[in-house]
Structure 1
Amino acid sequence: MAKLVFGMNVSLDGYVDHTEFAPSPILFRHFVQEAKDQTGSLYGRKVYELMRYWDEDQATWSDDERAFAAAFRKQTKWVASRTLERVGARADDRAACIQSALPLAYLALVLVFFVLWTRGIFV
């Protein structure tokens, strides 16, 4: 049976900003290994659009960044969005757009529980 893992980058005050997050090299290597071990990822539209950065190689990338990009590209991606009609611009993309309201409601529920947990309401 597969294991479902929920993960999110968050600061100690509960603020999430994926555009300003710059992990240390050690933490980034951890993310590379996590990405290699994942079968797929479920994204909302905004985070999916941010992650599309990894679709095209950049000349300035380090070896770790190239390894992360390779792991990201091999994953199946499920994108919950009411506005995107299709996802995955590359021919080898393994992506699907979920436009049903159910996945969006699920994501909202997960977010609510996460916020409550970070504020100490759930242990």
Structure 2
Amino acid sequence: MAKLVFGMNVSLDGYVDHQAFGPGPTLFRHFIEQVGSAPGSVYGRRMYEIMRYWDEDRDDWDAAAREFAAAWRQQTKWVVSRTMTSVGPNARLVEGDLETAIREI
């Protein structure tokens, strides 16, 4: 059985706002290492749609952003959604019973 690690970005006061989030260099380095070392990630539809930002290179990216994008693209992604009918590269749509699907990972 694989080890499942839960992660979430939240401020100390419990506030979550992914539209205004911009990690500093130290935290972004942590994310690069985390994505590069994990065999895969489980996403809900909304977070997966946000993360699709990393599917295509952008001219304004620095070296760290390119490194993160490369790691994210290589990683297998399981996307949990009842409304999506397809997902992007290196992603699998999780349908049906979530507990069963997670146990199969």
What is the TM-score when the length of structure 1 is the normalising length? 0.76
Corresponding position: 1:99 with 2:95: yes
Task: Report the Cα offset of residue 17 of structure 1.
Answer: 1.5
Is residue 58 of structure 1 aligned with residue 58 of structure 2? yes
Deviation at 1:74, TM superposition (A): 0.4
Question: SS in structure 1 opposite 2:11?
Answer: coil
CA deviation digits over 1:10-43, x for unaligned, max 9?
A: 1112121222111111110111000100111100
Alignment root-mean-square deviation, CA: 1.4
2:46 paired residue number? 46
List per-residue Cα deviations over 1:76-107 (Å, max 9, x = no partner).
1100001100101xxxx21111122x328xxx
3-state DSSP of counterpart to 2:86:
coil
Matched with 2:31 is 31
Larger-Rg structure: 1
Q: What is residue 10 of structure 1 aligned with on the other side? A: 10
Instruction: Specify every segment of 5 or more residues in structure 2 that has no aligned partner in the other structure, as ranges.
Output: 100-105
* Aligned length, in residue pairs: 99
In 2, Cα distance between equivalents of 1:99 and 1:46? 16
SS in 2 for 1:64: helix
The structural deviation recorded for 1:3 is 2.1
CA distance in 2: counterparts of 1:25 and 1:60, whole angstroms? 16
The residue that corresponds to 1:71 in the other structure is 71
Which digits, 9 at most, give the CA deviation of each residue in 1:42-86, with x for residues without a partner? 000000000000000000001000000000000111000011001
The sequence identity of aligned pairs, in percent, is 59
